[in-house]
A and B are shown apart, each in its own frame.
Chain A
Amino acid sequence: MLHRGSIGAVALLAALCLSAAGAGAFEDSQYPDFNGKWNRAPTPGAPRTPQPVYDPTKGWGKAQGAPLTPEYTAIFEANEKDQAEGGPGTTRGFTCRTGGMPLIMTLFQPMEVIVLPDTTYMLINRGNIQRRIFTDGRDWPKEIEPSYVGYSIGKWIDEGGTGHYTVLEAETRGFRGPRTYDASGLPLHTDEQSIVKERMYLDKTDKNVMHNQITVIDHALTRPWTVTKDYRRDPSPRPVFVEEICAEGNPWVQIGKEAYMLGAAGELMPSKKDQPPPDLKYFNQTKK
């Protein structure tokens, strides 16, 4: 049985602990310093590609070595043919839709990371991407409104047992599509049942390098596909975040299922050889 005075002390201590928790003081040092502006890091020795690719260590398209099922290999090859003729293939970026997960983590534009106890925010200007990784211990909602970015739940891990979190593990579900891994048109399955798992951590020797090991489980794959992406922190303490509005100067226009191009003066043009013009049946042609 506790001494009466000690009971009071215990009560006081408990009250102090509770009030400290309720005060909302957020100890940044518990978390790895993810804050700031992150750019896609170059991969030494990587093949040159027309655009950033999903696996940064490998080449364009087939050279990625994506473990696609035969059905999705055929879809990818048809996409390659369409792109060779000038079309967009399976990609939809030309319509200014976001590429969604996991493409967005290639960082076509810089990313800002904000770590708060309940949520880690990832903001990427391109496509107005606002990714929330909930770290408040929530479970998966019963119904997820599908989105290109998906619904992400994360957990901070103190991997080294040092008393500090070192790794953010995130799982993302609840997708909509169409989505591709990169601009070569490597497709994800149209059932949108992908599960994307990530492990994000700072490099042990260079705290301005972040690694993101991404594993995709998807019905268009014969096995999970894992790649690691590297990001480098902008050294400026006040980095510039450029506003990119996809619609500004976008030379593509979609009419029905066809993608056309706009000329410098806005004239409608074919994007492929011998592409038929749009059907103008709703216009009063006799007025011309």
Chain B
Amino acid sequence: MTCRSPIGAIALLAALLLPPLVLPDAGALAFDQSKYPDLKGQWLRVGPPRWDDQHAPLTSEYQAIYQANLKDMATGGQGIDPTYTCLSPGMPRIMNVYDPMEVVVTPGATHILIQHIHDVRRIFTDGRDWPKNEDPTFAGYSIGKWIDSKGTGRYDLLEVETRNLKGPRVYDSTGLPFHEDNATVINERIYLDKADPNLLHDDITVTDHALTRPFSANKKYSRNPDPQPVWLEAQCADGNHHVQIGKENYYVSEDGYLMPVKKDQAAPDLKYFKKK
């Protein structure tokens, strides 16, 4: 039997231990973050932001497109990489993680936040089906499912499928192309490394009509140990010297003059300006 004064002391101590804030409703919705892997923090790309273009199983048609693109780049052009105009890199190039990534997990969706250009993704995990009439996007429409692969009562794997993409998109800055039909399907398995919880894996498999078979890559990201990491704001237009006029790409010099990017490139037509 417990004596009375210790009960009072326990009650007092309990009251002191409880946070002096707000208490949840009895029927409150609790988002139990402990059921999910700890993906908090700032994730930085491990390795170069590239895909293995030497082993990309491109069809012969798209291999020719890729080679023509490389030739254009060699002469000063941008090839078929559209991001110099500040278009979104789209999926799966977003997951190259050009700028640091934050992964925000909520029960209904996992948000991938990357500043870069337009590299924000929502991965819906609320059990929804594919929408019937949504406009295609560079990031695509992503549906995910949390998996408890070990039966421990905690999720350890996020499986994602992404469809409904728009283009033009390429895998990386080499201009490795996707099929222009944009019927790409991207499957991902996102999970923490078994030995290192500060290493995140994204196993990506792309199915695309420009490929003779699915093309896979394993992307890795390391967690910034800083508990309050700096999130830099990226504005593509800031310091972007490329301008597109018609179908031509030009360069604007530091002192504000329009310049050719290729030898003997024609100047833009000035017919709409008054002649002096």
Question: Which residues from A are CB-within-8-Å of B231?
Answer: 130, 132
Q: Which of A72-80, A190-198, A246-254 contacts B (4 or more CB under 8 A)?
A: A246-254
Q: With CB as the reference atom, state the residue of chain B lying closest to A262.
A: B245
Say whether A225 faces chain B, with CB atoms less than 8 Å apart: no
- Interface on chain A toward B: helix, strand, loop, or mixed SS? loop
Q: When the two chains form the complex, which single residue of B33, B253, B273 contacts A276, counting CB atoms closer than 8 Å? A: B273
Q: Are B13 and A10 in contact (CB under 8 A)?
A: yes
Whether A243 contacts B137 in the complex (CB less than 8 A), given A6-B9, A148-B235, A267-B246, comes out as yes
Question: Which positions 67-117 of chain A face chain B at CB distance < 8 Å?
Answer: 95-98, 114, 116
A residues near B113, Cβ cutoff 8 Å: 121, 123, 130
Chain B hits for A266, CB < 8 A: 244-247
Chain B residue with the shortest CB-CB distance to A253: B243
| A contact residues, range | 35 or more
Please, which residues of chain A bring their CB within 8 A of the CB of B10?
Answer: 6, 9-10, 13
Which residues of the other chain, B, contact A46 by a CB distance below 8 angstroms? none
B17 pairs with A13, CB closer than 8 A: yes
User: Given the complex, which residues of A lie within 8 Å of B27, measured CB to CB?
Assistant: 29
Contact B265 A123 (CB under 8 A): no
Determine if B128 and A288 form an interchain contact, defined as CB atoms under 8 angstroms apart: no
Q: Is the CB of B18 within 8 A of A17?
A: yes
- Interface flags, B107-146, vs A, CB<8A=1, else 0: 0000101010111101010101001001101110000000
Q: Which residue of chain A has its CB nearest to the CB of B248?
A: A266
A248 touches B31 (CB 8 A): no
Judge if A275 is at the interface, Cβ distance under 8 Å. Answer: yes
Is B195 close to A, CB under 8 A? Answer: no
Which of B84-92, B183-191, B200-208 makes up part of the contact surface? B84-92
- Report which A residues bind B (CB closer than 8 A): 2-3, 5-6, 9-10, 13-14, 17, 21, 23-30, 95-98, 114, 116, 121, 123, 125, 127-128, 130, 132, 134, 136, 138, 141, 145, 147-149, 158, 163-165, 238, 240-243, 245-248, 253-257, 262-263, 265-270, 274-285, 287-288
For the complex with contacts A9-B10, A17-B14, A243-B88, 4 further pairs of A-B residues with Cβ separation under 8 Å are A6-B6, A97-B238, A243-B135, A268-B273
